[in-house]
Structure 1
Amino acid sequence: MSQFQTIDSFSPLSFSAADPDSLLSTLFTPLPLSCQLTLRNKFFMAPLTRDRNVPTNVPTDLVVEYYRQRAKGASLIVSEAVLVSRQGTPWPHAPGIWSEEQVVAWKKITDAVHEEGAVMFAQLSHTGRINHAEAPEQIASEKPIYAPSAITARSGSGNFKFRFIPGEPGPSSPTGIPDPRQLVQVYKHAALNAKRAGFDGVEVDAGGGFLIHQFLDNTANRREDKWGGSVENRARFGLEVLKIVKDVFGPGRVGIKLTPAGGYNDIGMTLEDTIETFTYFIAEADKLELTYMTFLRYDEAHDPIIDGKRRAIKHDMIKTYRSLLKDSKFFVVGGYTPFEAAELISSHKVDGVFFGRPWIANPDFPNRVRFGLGMSEIDMKRLYGPRDGRVLGEEELAKGYTDYPLAVLPN
C-alpha cells in the first residue's frame, strides 16, 4: 500500500473546508462545552488505546510528544483509557492513575496539551470481568477480579487476547464484588488524582462491556441486592460513580461514554431491555450537570459472533436517545467522516462528533480536512505497543506512533 491515501476514503469530499461557505466550515467554528470551557473548533479526539507506556503503566516522554502533536489542531482530547486501579488492569503498558508517579507523568501531558491550546479530559476506566488472573497488575493488586456477578465473559467476545500468557486465554472467572461502594470510592480517588494531574475534566467509561456497562446489563449483572435486578438497581452503580466524580470536578467537567448497542466483550440485552435500561440511565444522568454524553454507533467490527450469532442489539443512537438529553451535550463516535460530522452538526442532530482512527496516522488531521489533503495510512502492525511481554526501546515504540509525517500545506 502507498504511504498516503486520498481523503475520499474517509469522506466524500469534493471541496475544501478553506471555503467559508462549505459545509465543512462548521467544524472550524468554536463550541461552548460548558460555562467554564469553550472549544476552539469541533475536532475532538476520541480515546485511542496505544499501549506505549513502557516499561510499566506510567506515561513516558514519548506519550507526551504523541499528545502534543495532536493537540496542535484538536480542541478536545479525551485520553486513552486510564485505569483507575491495579485491580481491573488486564494488559501490560496501559496507563493508570492510582499512583503519584502516574499523576506526575500525566501532568506533563496535560501541560503540553494546554500549551497547544486544547482541552483534555481523562477517560476513567475499570475493565471488571474482562481480565485475567495472571495479568501482572492484577497479581500485584492482591485482589480478586471483581465484577457485578460471578459470570465469565465468553472468549472471542472482544479484543482481549492475553498474548503475554501462554495459550492466549480469554478472561478469567470473576468474583462478585461484595460491596460496590468500595469501587465507587476507587473512582473518587482516580478523579482526585486526575484533577491534580491537570485534566480539565473526566470522561467516565460506561461502555465497551467494562465494569459500569456490566452493572447495567442484565446478562452480566444477576445480583439480588440493591445493585441488581430492576433497571433502577442496575443503574445505581454508574450513577453513583458519576455523582462522586462530579463532586470532585464540579458541574460541566464530567462526560460519559455509552455503547447501548452492546456486543463487545459479551454484553447485550434484548432490544426492549436495552432501551428501557438506557432510557432510565440517560435521563437520570442528564440531571447531574454533566458536560456531555458520547454514544458509539453500531459497527459490525464491535459486534463479535459468539456461539454462531452476533451479540449486539443494533439500533440508532440518535433516533433512540437524542431527545432524552435536556442539559448535556449529545456527542457521537464511531467511524464518522468529516462530511458526516459536519452534516449532523449543521442539522442539529448532534452537538459534536469524536474522530478516532484519522488521528492515529494524521496528527495534523484538521489541516488535512481544511485543505482537502491526502491522509496517511495507519501502520496496522504498529497500532499497539507490545502486548506479548516484550520491552521495546523508545525508537522502536515511536514507529507508528509519533513518526507520522505532517502534510505540506498550500501557500
Structure 2
Amino acid sequence: MTNNLFDTVRIGRHELPHRLVMAPMTRSRAEDGGLVTELTAEYYAQRAGAALIVTEGVQPSMRGQGYIQTPGLHTDEQIAAWRKVTDAVHAEGGVIFAQLMHAGRIGHPTLYPDGGLPEAPSAVASGGQLFSGAGMLDHPEPRELSLDDIARVIDEFTAAARNAVEAGFDGVELHGANGYLIQQFLSDNANRRTDAYGGSVENRIRFAVEVTQAVSDAIGGDRVGFRVSPGGTFNGITEENPEELYTALTKALAPYGLAYLHVTEVGDPAITDRIRRDWPAALILNPAGKPLEEAAEHAERALRDGRADAVAYGRLWLANPDAHERIRTGASFNTDDPDTYYGGDHRGYTDYAPLG
C-alpha cells in the first residue's frame, strides 16, 4: 500500500498519527544559564500537532554551545526548565525529542564562563563568525581534542541524553549535520587527525558511531535519532566523497536499533536513495530549500516514491503552528518573518495565528 502524509507511522517507541515532522530550528530565546522559559513551553505546545517535534539544538555541555541564548541540558536547572516544556507538549498529545548539538569549532570564548577556546577534531578554524549581540566575532582556531577529551565529550552526550529523559523528553536526536562537532569529525577538511579518529572513512566515522553507541546504551536505541546532511557545506565543511562516507556511516549505525535517521537533503538526492537502501529503520527526509507552498507535493512524492517514512519541515512549522491541518485542508500558509527568527520576545515566536 502506498503511504500518504496522513497514514500513521511507527518511529521508535511511538505510533505517530501522521508523517509531518517539525524539524529543529535555533530560535535563541533561552535565558542566562541556558534556561528555556514559559514562552518556550507555549511555543512547542502550540506545535504539538506535529507528528514529532525535534527541538532546537541543545548543548550537551558548557563547551558545546555555539550561539548566544541557546538552551542546554547539562545542569539541574536546565532539566527542570525543560520539564515544563515537555509537560506542555504531552498535555496537547505531542511527541518531542531533544536535539543534542555540540557545536565544536562553531563557538567562541565569549560564550563560555571560563573564556576558553572551543574544541574540535583539529585546530582548524571554520572561517565563520559568531553574532555576539554587539557585533560579529571571528570564530577562533579551536583546541584539538585529545583522546581523553573525546572520551569526555562522549560521556557528556550520554549524560545529556539521560538528562533529556529525566526532563520528560520522548527521545533525543544526535546532530550529525550542518557543520557541528559530529560532522566536523566526518569532514575531510575540519578533521586532519592522524590517529584512530582521522584519515580514512572508517576512522572519521568512529566518533559518530561511538557517541551513538554510548547514548543508545544509556537510554535505548529506540529513543535515539541521528541527523545527517550528506554533502553539506554549512559552517565551512567539505566532504570529498559523501556517498562513500554516508554509506559507511549508515551501515555502522544500523545495528544500534535507532528510532530514525533524519536526512537533510542539501546534496545529491542519489545519496539519500543509497542511504535509504541501507537503512533498516524509519527515515525522515528534510527536503531543504524546497518552496514552502509546494511542501505537500514534495512530501507526498517522497512517501509515494518510498524515499522516506516521514517528512520534516522547519520554517513551515515556525509560522504555522497547525501546519498539518493547513496541509490536510489545503489552507494557505502564514508568511514567516525572518527578522524575528533569532532572539526577541513572543513576536514571530508564539503569535502566528492558527486557522480560524
TM bucket (normalised to shorter chain) is over 0.9
Residue 274 of structure 1, CA deviation: 2.0
- Give a deviation string over 1:313-342, Cα, whole Å, max 9, x none: 6553333322111x2212210245112111
Instruction: Show the counterpart of 1:189.
Output: 159
Question: TM-score when scaled to structure 2?
Answer: 0.93
Note if contact 1:335-1:357 (Cα within 8 Å) is conserved in structure 2. no
Higher relative contact order (CA 8 A, sep 6+): 1
After the TM superposition, which residues 12-411 of structure 1 pair with which residues of structure 2 at under 5 Å, given as runs? Answer: 26-34=4-12, 36-71=13-48, 73-135=49-111, 138=112, 140-141=113-114, 143-155=116-128, 160-164=129-133, 166=135, 168-179=136-147, 180-270=150-240, 273-298=241-266, 314=268, 316-325=270-279, 327-333=280-286, 334-336=288-290, 337-386=295-344, 397-408=345-356
Point out the structure with max Rg over C-alpha.
1
3-state secondary structure, aligned to 1:403: coil
**Structure 1 segments unaligned to the other structure (5+ residues):** 1-22, 299-312, 387-396
Note if contact 1:243-1:288 (Cα within 8 Å) is conserved in structure 2. yes
CA distance 1:165–1:226, shift in 2 (3 Å): farther
Inter-partner Cα distance in structure 1 for 2:339 and 2:73: 28
Inter-partner Cα distance in structure 2 for 1:146 and 1:315: 32
Residue 74 of structure 1, CA deviation: 1.1
- Give a deviation string over 1:119-169, Cα, whole Å, max 9, x none: 11110010101111222xx2x1454311001011113xxxx5423355x12
Report percent identity of matched pairs. 36
Inter-partner Cα distance in structure 1 for 2:24 and 2:62: 20
3-state secondary structure, aligned to 1:81: strand
Inter-partner Cα distance in structure 2 for 1:268 and 1:316: 18
Letter matched to residue 243 of structure 1 = Q
| Deviant stretches of 4+, over 3 Å | 141-144, 313-317
Question: TM-score when scaled to structure 1?
Answer: 0.81
Letter matched to residue 355 of structure 2 = A
- Give a deviation string over 1:76-124, Cα, whole Å, max 9, x none: 1011101111112132210100110110111111111111111111100
Letter matched to residue 164 of structure 1 = G
3-state secondary structure, aligned to 2:216: helix
**Structure 2 segments unaligned to the other structure (5+ residues):** none
Inter-partner Cα distance in structure 2 for 1:402 and 1:335: 24
3-state secondary structure, aligned to 2:61: coil
Note if contact 2:68-2:132 (Cα within 8 Å) is conserved in structure 1. no
Letter matched to residue 133 of structure 2 = F
Inter-partner Cα distance in structure 1 for 2:6 and 2:100: 28
Q: Which deviates more from structure 2 when the two are superposed, residues 328-337 or residues 184-193?
A: 328-337
Letter matched to residue 328 of structure 1 = A
Residue 260 of structure 1, CA deviation: 1.1
Inter-partner Cα distance in structure 2 for 1:251 and 1:53: 29
Note if contact 1:360-1:378 (Cα within 8 Å) is conserved in structure 2. yes
Inter-partner Cα distance in structure 1 for 2:338 and 2:271: 29
Inter-partner Cα distance in structure 2 for 1:189 and 1:245: 8
Inter-partner Cα distance in structure 2 for 1:79 and 1:27: 21
Letter matched to residue 352 of structure 2 = Y
- How many residues end up aligned between the 2 structures? 348
- Give a deviation string over 1:335-382, Cα, whole Å, max 9, x none: 451121112112322111101111111111111112211211112211
Inter-partner Cα distance in structure 1 for 2:71 and 2:186: 25
Inter-partner Cα distance in structure 1 for 2:77 and 2:213: 27
